[in-house]
Amino acid sequence: MADKSQVFDGLLHFASTPQSRSMVTLAAVSFAVCHLVVMGTSAAPMNGTADSDLEIPRQLMHFAAELCRFALPLGVVVVGIIRGRSKQSTGAPRARS
């Protein structure tokens, strides 16, 4: 039972570090930016005068923003966790037993 408590304490300590807070903030900002791009490139009403030369780049940008809306924040979190663990493991010397 003590192991679960230590895992929970370790998780709380990791979540309270400044690096993890900035990682979550950066992920949220990247989601918001991509979401604004998605909303800005949403389908225009078809009134019969849509120019197909402008429609294809808009659809490509919309698709890329839709994909990045979830992939970019996930990538930020994964890279932040990897960097946090590597700094944590190299930062403190280990005691030999």
Number of domains in the chain: 1
Pick the more confident residue, 20 or 74. Answer: 74
Query: Residues in the chain, how many?
Result: 97
The region that residue 43 occupies, defined by phi over 0 for left and psi between -120 and 50 for alpha, beta otherwise, is beta
Expressed as residue numbers, the domain containing 28 is 2-43+50-91
Structural domain includes residue 80: yes
Q: How confident is the model at residue 81 (pLDDT cuts 50, 70, 90)?
A: confident
User: For the whole prediction, is pTM greater than 0.85?
Assistant: no
User: pLDDT at residue 48 above 90?
Assistant: no
Structural domain includes residue 96: no
| % of the chain with per-residue pLDDT over 70 | 78
Is residue 16 helix, strand or coil?
Answer: coil
Pick the more confident residue, 53 or 70. Answer: 70
Q: What is the mean pLDDT of residues 40-55?
A: 70
- Tell me the CB-side half-sphere exposure of residue 9, using CA atoms within 13 A: 6
Structural domain includes residue 14: yes
Structural domain includes residue 9: yes
Which of 11-15, 23-27, 75-79 has the lowest average pLDDT? 11-15
Q: What is the mean pLDDT of residues 69-81?
A: 91
Structural domain includes residue 35: yes
